[in-house]
Amino acid sequence: MFRWLRRAYQIVFLGFFLFLLLVTTAGLIRGYDVQWLLEFDPLVAVTTALASHTLYGALLWSLVLIVPTLILGRFFCSWMCPMGVLHHALGFLARKRRPPDRARQNAPRPSHKIKYLVLAVMLGLAAAGSTQIGLLDPIASTWRGLATSVMPALGNLAFGMYQGERHFQWGTLITLVFFGALALNFVYPRFYCRVLCPLGALLGLLSRFSLFRITRRQEICKGCKFCGADCQGAADPQGTVRATECMVCLNCIEGCPRGGLSYRFLPPLRFSTTKIDLVRRKWLGAGVAGVVAVPLMRASDGVEPRPNPARIRPPGSLEEDGFLGKCLKCGACMKVCPTGGLQPALNEAGLEGFWSPILIPRIGYCEASCTLCGQVCPTGAIEKLTVAQKVGEMPARPPVRIGSAFFDKGRCLPWGYQTECIVCEEVCPTSPKAIYFKMETVTARDSAQKTLKMPFVDLDYCTGCGICETRCPIVDRAGIRVSAANESRTPRSSISLTGGKI
Amino acid sequence: MTTDGRPNPYECGPVQGNHTAPPPDYSGMDRRGALRVGVTTAMAVGSVALGFALRDRGSHKNTRALPTIKDHRADKPAGATDMAIVRGSDPATNVRKAIEALGGMGRFVRHGERVVVKPNIGWNRLPEQAANTNPDVVAEVVRLVVAAGAGKVWMTDASVNTPEQCFARSGIEKAAKAAGATVVRPDASAFREVNVSGKLLRTGDVLFPFIEADRVINIPIVKQHGLSLASMALKNWYGVLGGQRVKLHQNIHLSIIDLAAMVKPTLTILDATRILLANGPTGGSLADVKQLDTVAAGTDEVALDAFGATLLGLNPNDVGFIVEGMKAGLGTPQWHNLKTVELGG
């Protein structure tokens, strides 16, 4: 009975997750808080707060999970986690047939301690200012996997009827990691959850204090081990129950043929253990490794002082330091971007910024009156903007700039080939247009004089939206391209004196 | 036996053991053997046949017959009005009066016919920014077409900005739906390849309603344009195309004429409720918008564009596609010489 109640909850939460994912697209999004489940994630709250020294308002939802976890234990993993449901289902398919074999699959192993080290490394990274939790956090990973790999594949098969064709650069990597994690269930059920999941580790730590615990009545037990046959957390219900590993799936209670197990309020302490069996030195070592990794990563060529021109951040993004402290790489902004231009970075933002969002204007531009990426960002790495803020009103209120456009005169049709074009000027959304032309008389190959409209960029008006690059008729590398220079999120990027700041 | 009585190792003794088995029969085939031969032969023949069937005969892709868009023009009743210009504060009333002056929608749409209306929904802009056709004008045209007994009314355009946002923020999708139109968004699946057979353009991907409809109604807005000077009725046919239409700008005037010669609409309603005087065709600033409260309707796109050009302060003879349109026989820029009715204002 408990089991069916749990399954009902799992299906409801997965359905809810999928619904929020589905409506995260320009045509369907309303005022929903589409990142609601991610905002429940205390690990996101803890790491982003550590890294940025502020807690983004919506992440207060995570308190709603911390408090019941302190009381009930690590129930989240078996009742709410969308990735947990998928792993639960696959683990069920991959399990062995005979209950004793299954009990052996579900035995505690030393490797299950790895997740605590993963957590310590992640917290160390965050303490030093780099949020990398999204790479392994189950909700962020599931978001990213579905949003940039599974949904685009399904949508493209359906002729783009859902949200138009979508392509994500090196999405194959995301696919491999996402499905690779799922495939680990064939090693043994819930491999990822038991060995790697840092959120599970954090909730496990909180569960050390839990008031409700599984207990086994030793006077009834005949040692059949049926209770361990489907134990999700490998919590050893046939021995001393491990409170930190128990996911409160309640399979052990249903599995016991003699009714010897129960989930009880304040059972005697000797029936369960809260030991993780990691000496302090290992905790510290992992944490320090995380802290030290950040200056090491930043000493490499990734971010400063040689910013990559392709590191074009979504409009409203914080300065790079703050951005890397908050961005989870969950892919919500990439999913909602109406043109599909927001893409997971590879090396454009350094190793630290791997899979963080950048705009690739050749794929899609930044729609002038759209502020959806900031609306769906769960951590405030991209701030919420109003259309008026984003568009600005020159010269009093400058617009939000994400970069600026530069002509490649050898590839531009009027400049390089004396051919009429001016598509960039036509599509330029600012008013007055950032791209303007002057009439120039040129000499064609046959010595004929020809008067052409030659395009120029006015940096005061250019917002770097990139529609000129998207629409440029030079099909592969455009004749006008946007680079991140002159983005308005930091005065350091400014290239003109007009901003007033040096 | 050898002479010394020992066995000769090279001599064959009596056969041991298996001597009762019958010798193999090589003379014929049993049933299983026949089956195997049959299967092997079938696979051999099949693979050869499949290989030849799939053989690449070289790329002669353009040999397949592509559809052509038919001529949608309606017969002109004797003495009918060619063009109507109506001024008034309500755009819908202006449309209604203009169509009445031309002889009513019944002149253009017959009972049960399938009609596509083509406003300009190119940009992610609000109605007051005058980058897209006025939604009230579009809705009124749809209502008149429905009232004329049309079997189906499609409303579509291939936007330049993100289609769902253009369709929503222009207000046109909602207004057209409420008036009874089926909205076709320019998804990849909505385009079919057709023969353009123009001077520059051979083939193109066109929104399917233009191939399937019996009648086509063009509802452009009057705007300034950086390259072609103006965007009105003839230029509006860029919006039937998908694919790499940005290439057309290399010879914008002739491309416009190629597309206009391909579509040949039944009726054109020129929306000059608000016109965009600068920073076109995208606009954005209300300072560039001028409210004229005018709607013109007619069957001659060149004449309507010549009239529209005067609203923008242009001389029609300076506008390349108007001159080329006249040369190509699509109409006359001398709209004063047509049978024209002017009402209001």
Q: What is the distance between the alpha carbons of residues B8 and B286, in angstroms, rounded to a whole number? A: 119
On whether any CB of chain B is under 8 Å from the CB of A4, the answer is no
Cα distance from A29 to chain B (closest Cα, Å)? 12
A431 and B160 within 8 Å at the Cβ level: the answer is no
Of residues A391, A423, A430, nearest to B246 (C-beta) = A423
Interface touch A367/B124, C-beta < 8 Å: yes
Q: How far apart are CA A152 and CA A167, in angstroms?
A: 7
ipTM, 2 decimals? Answer: 0.76
- Of the pLDDT bands very low, low, confident and very high (cuts 50, 70, 90), residue B16 is low
Q: CA torsion angle for B90, B91, B95, B98 (degrees, to 10)? A: 60
Residue B243 banded pLDDT, cuts 50, 70, 90:
confident
CB-based contact A419 B161, cutoff 8 Å: no
DSSP B8: P
Contact B284 A426 (CB under 8 A): no
Nearest to B267 by CA among B102, B34, B31: B102
pLDDT of residue B58: 62
Contacts of A370 in chain B (CB under 8 A): 124, 162, 165
Q: What is the pLDDT of residue A476?
A: 93
The yes-or-no verdict on residue B157 having pLDDT over 60 is yes
Residues in chain B, how many?
Answer: 345
Other Cβ atoms less than 10 A from the Cβ of B322: the count is: 32
Preferred mutation among B173, B282, B321 to probe A, highest tally of A CBs within 10 A: B282
Q: CA–CA distance from B117 to each of A328, B196, B239 (Å)? A: 46, 20, 12
> A68 at the B interface (CB within 8 A)?
no
Query: How are beta strands B203-207 and B229-231 bridged, if at all?
Result: unpaired
Is residue A462 less than 8 Å (CB to CB) from chain B?
no
A-B contacts (CB, under 8 Å): 92
pTM (2 d.p.): 0.85
Residue where the block lists tokens 């090491």:
A296
Show residues of chain A in contact with B123, CB under 8 Å.
429
| Residue B19: pLDDT band with limits 50, 70, 90 | low
Give tens-digit pLDDT for B253-304. Answer: 999 999 999 999 999 999 999 999 999 899 989 999 999 999 999 999 999 9
Tell me A317's DSSP state.
B
Residues of A in contact with B163 (CB under 8 A): 164
Any idea where the domains of chain A sit in the sequence? Answer: 2-273, 401-497
Low-confidence spans in chain A with pLDDT less than 50: 500-502
Contact B135, B177 (CB under 8 A): no
Structure confidence at residue A500 (pLDDT): 47
Hunting for tokens 């683990």 — which residue is that? A91
Residues from chain A contacting residue B132 (CB–CB below 8 Å): none
Strand bridging mode B83-87 / B289-298: antiparallel
A393: closest CA of chain B, how far (Å):
10
Tell whether A160 is within 8 A of chain B (Cβ): yes
Q: Taking 80 as the threshold, does the pLDDT of residue B26 lie above it?
A: no
Contacts of residue A410, defined as CB under 8 A and 6 or more positions apart, other chains included, come to A416
> Cα A173 to the chain's mean position, in Å?
14
**What is the dihedral sign for C-alpha A113, A114, A117, A118?**
negative
- Chain B residues whose CB is inside 8 A of the A423 CB are 246, 249
Q: Does A439 touch chain B (CB under 8 A)?
A: no
Instruction: Give the nearest chain B residue to A412 (CA atoms).
Output: B250
Residue B284: closest CA among chain A residues belongs to which residue?
A431
Q: What pLDDT, in 10s, does the model give residues B75-107? A: 889 889 999 999 999 999 999 999 999 999 999
The phi and psi torsions of B316 (rounded to 5 degrees) equal -55, -30
CB-nearest partner of B282 from A27, A420, A429 = A429
Task: Provide the token pair at A394.
Answer: 């020159």
- Alpha-carbon distance B249 to B237, whole Å? 13
Domains recognised in chain B with CATH numbers: 65-343 (3.40.50.11440)
B283/A472 Cβ within 8 A: no
CB-CB under 8 Å, A453 with B187: no
Is B59's pLDDT higher than 60? no
Q: What is the pLDDT of residue B13?
A: 56
What is the distance in angstroms between the Cα of B165 and the nearest Cα belonging to chain A? 7
Q: Do B160 and A338 touch (CB under 8 A)?
A: no
Chain A: give the shortest CA distance to residue B247, in Å. 6
> Beta-carbon neighbour count of residue A351 at 10 Å?
17
